[in-house]
Amino acid sequence: MMEGRLHRRLPGKRRANAPRFTAEDLRIIASPVDFVGLNVYLPNVYVKAADTAKGYEALPLPASHPRMASPWLTLGPR
């Protein structure tokens, strides 16, 4: 988005469903910004190596781990 183009390796199905932009739209989208914010709502901590295709196993956070008002909003460990 910030480069004013779709990522060249965007998978075919996602690329086919991507929004359509004009050259002017992309020029505006790619203009310099002062701040970029990211919302990460579901942190996962991968701490256990495993003999799987991914090479790791996601371990659940303990029940005592801090959460927000909604049970699915978990605070990241950092």
pLDDT tens-digit readout, 24-39: 988 888 888 888 887 7
- Strands in 1-78 per DSSP E: 45-49, 56-59
Contact of 49 with 58, CB cutoff 8 Å: no
Contact of 43 with 11, CB cutoff 8 Å: no
- pLDDT < 70 regions, the chain: 1-2, 6-8, 10-11, 15, 40-46, 77-78
> Per-domain residue ranges for the chain?
1-36, 38-78
> CA torsion angle for 53, 54, 60, 61 (degrees, to 10)?
170
Strand, helix or coil for residue 26: helix
Q: What is the pTM of this model?
A: 0.36
